[in-house]
Structure formats: C-alpha cells, structure tokens
Amino acid sequence: MKNIVTRTLTGSVFIIIIIGSILLSVYTFAAIFLLITILGLLEFYKLSSSDTIKPQRITGVLFGAFMFLSIASYAHSLLPFGIVLINIPLLMSLFIFEMYRKKELPFNNVAITILGILYIALPLALLNFLFSPFQLKGEFNTHILIAFFAMTWMVDTAAYLVGMAIGKHRLFERISPKKSWEGAIGGLIFGIIAAYIISLFYRDLLFYQWAIISVIITIAGGYGDLVESMFKRSIHIKDSGSILPGHGGILDRFDCVFFSAPFVFIYIYFFISHSL
C-alpha cells in the first residue's frame, strides 16, 4: 500500500513537471529534457560499467547533451542544420579519445559510450520536433506532444493494471516474467480509447491518425520496455535507479519513450507533416 501511494505521488509530480514544461515554452521543455538526458546518460554509464568495461562517462554526457541541444535548436529554427552535423565528428572522436585511455577493452568502451548517446539523447531530442511539427506553420502548438505523453502514460498504466488483474499468458517470459499478452492487449485498447478522446479536443489530426500514433506507441514502447528489462536482467538489477521513488530510475521511466519517439517522429514526418 505504501509503495502504491509513493508511486502515485511521484507519478503525479512527474506528470505536472512534464506537462508544465510543455505548456510554458519550447525552452522550458528543452531545459527539463536536457536535464533528463544528462541524468539518463549518467545512470546508463554507471550501470554499464564493470571491471573490464569503462565507458567515457564525462565525454559521453557532454556529447549527448550537445546532441540534444543541437537537434533541439534546429527543431525550433534557432540554428541551421549544420549544427546537427557536428555530432558526426564528435562521435568519431570518441575512438581517438579511447586510444589515450589505455583500457583493456577499448572498442567495448567506445561502443557503450556511443550506445548511451543514441539510446537516450537522440530519441529525447527528437521530441522537440513534435511542437508544431518542423515549425511548418511557425506557431507554438503543444497538442501533438501532450497527446504523445498522454497516450504513452495511458498505454503503460493500462498494460500494468490489466496485466495485474487478468494476465496469464506471458508475453516474453525469458526477459520479463511478469508482462503478459493480456496486459499488452489492454494497453493497446485503452491507448486507442485515449486517441479517440484526444481527437475530440485536438482537431489537428483525424481520429485514425491519433489511433495510428497510439498503436506505434504501444508496439514500439512495448519493445522499449522489454529492451530495458533485458538490459537490467543482463546486469542483475531490479531498477535502473532510485531517483523517482516508486518508479525507479530515469531508464525505468522513459524506456517506452526511447523507442516510441523515433517511430512517431518518422510517422509524422512522412505521413502527416506536409498536410498540417
């Protein structure tokens, strides 16, 4: 009971911060998610470190922060696309830096460092494009981004509750013994219901477009959850951290977002943005 209360209180504060940052401005959202990116990278590199694997923590965090800021700046038309291209030589320079560290497994270290940046910083940076996608109208529009998080939370919560109530058939027992097909289907159904409710208030997209985004979130986010479970199982831990009481760490809270954000971005770019 205590854990449920803690989880609810933490979740409520978390939702207020995220939605508040979106509603205030693109700058508050970018600031909050830059912080989340940094905390997530620190968490990932700490968990990935071992006696033999030593990722470049400081460099990885700095380069990840730069990737987030460069993509966010381009998304909000503050800087040209050239700023984003700087990320390529920065990532390649990690190999050069590793040569001077004289560690036992240099390529493993570089691989984990780059993986953290691509796994955490890149997906979170792409969320900036969901403000009035690609700034095509040159206006401040929060609807798609708010809907993205609302459907993500609905899918996640429904999958958890339905799975707890009637879950019998394991979804991927080898990686996550508690997740069930019933929970996954429940998340899908309630996600589509959320899409319908959103379509009544936000007319930017048609119901079927909101529903497709919801399905993308359900499938991609579900895999994101499983991937993070696979990661934690490989290093024998239950939670990625304790920064969010009742929810674990940054990786625990954003595992679905890491996978669903790029797919939603691609769907909007190729199928929606030019009609807005």
Q: In this structure, are residues 113 and 60 in contact, taking their beta carbons and an 8 Å threshold? A: yes
- Residue 16 in any domain: the answer is no
- Choose the final residue of a domain: 105, 139, 173: 139
Collect all residues with Cβ–Cβ distance below 8 Å to 154 and sequence separation of at least 6: 187, 190, 191, 193, 194
Give the chain's mean pLDDT. 91
- Choose the final residue of a domain: 139, 159, 187: 139
User: Are residue 144 and residue 266 in the same domain, yes or no?
Assistant: yes
User: Are residue 179 and residue 93 in the same domain, yes or no?
Assistant: no
Residue 64: give the domain boundaries. 26-139
Q: Which residue has the tokens 């205590």?
A: 2
Does 136 score more than 50 pLDDT? Answer: no
Collect all residues with Cβ–Cβ distance below 8 Å to 4 and sequence separation of at least 6: 246
Mean pLDDT lowest among 4-18, 186-200, 237-251:
237-251
Identify the H or E element spanning 171.
Answer: strand 170-172
3-state helix, strand, coil in the chain (%, to 5): 75, 5, 20
- Choose the final residue of a domain: 121, 139, 157: 139
Q: What is the pLDDT of residues 213-272, one digit of tens each?
A: 999 999 999 999 999 999 988 888 877 766 766 667 899 999 999 999 999 999 998 888
pLDDT of the residue at 249: 87
User: Are residue 120 and residue 200 in the same domain, yes or no?
Assistant: no
Q: In this structure, are residues 184 and 218 in contact, taking their beta carbons and an 8 Å threshold? A: yes
User: Are residue 254 and residue 265 in the same domain, yes or no?
Assistant: yes
In the structure encoding, which two tokens stand for residue 250, read together? 């940054």
- Residue 11 in any domain: the answer is no
CA atoms of 41 and 121, how far apart (whole Å): 8
CA atoms of 257 and 230, how far apart (whole Å): 16
Q: What is the pLDDT of residues 250-259, one digit of tens each?
A: 999 999 999 9
Closest C-alpha to 145, from 265, 275, 16, 10: 265
pLDDT of the residue at 10: 78
Q: In this structure, are residues 82 and 70 in contact, taking their beta carbons and an 8 Å threshold? A: no
CA atoms of 241 and 182, how far apart (whole Å): 28
CA distances from 98 to 38, 226, 234, 259 (A): 21, 31, 25, 28
pLDDT of the residue at 196: 97
Collect all residues with Cβ–Cβ distance below 8 Å to 259 and sequence separation of at least 6: 123, 220, 221, 223, 224, 227
- Residue 14 in any domain: the answer is no
Q: What is the pLDDT of residues 40-82, one digit of tens each?
A: 999 999 999 998 999 999 999 999 999 999 999 999 889 999 9
pLDDT of the residue at 120: 98
Identify the H or E element spanning 176.
Answer: strand 176-180
User: Are residue 105 and residue 237 in the same domain, yes or no?
Assistant: no
Closest C-alpha to 110, from 182, 47, 59, 34: 59
Q: What is the pTM assigned to this prediction?
A: 0.92
- Residue 20 in any domain: the answer is no
Q: Count the domains in the chain.
A: 2
User: Are residue 276 and residue 178 in the same domain, yes or no?
Assistant: yes
pLDDT of the residue at 3: 61
- Residue 76 in any domain: the answer is yes
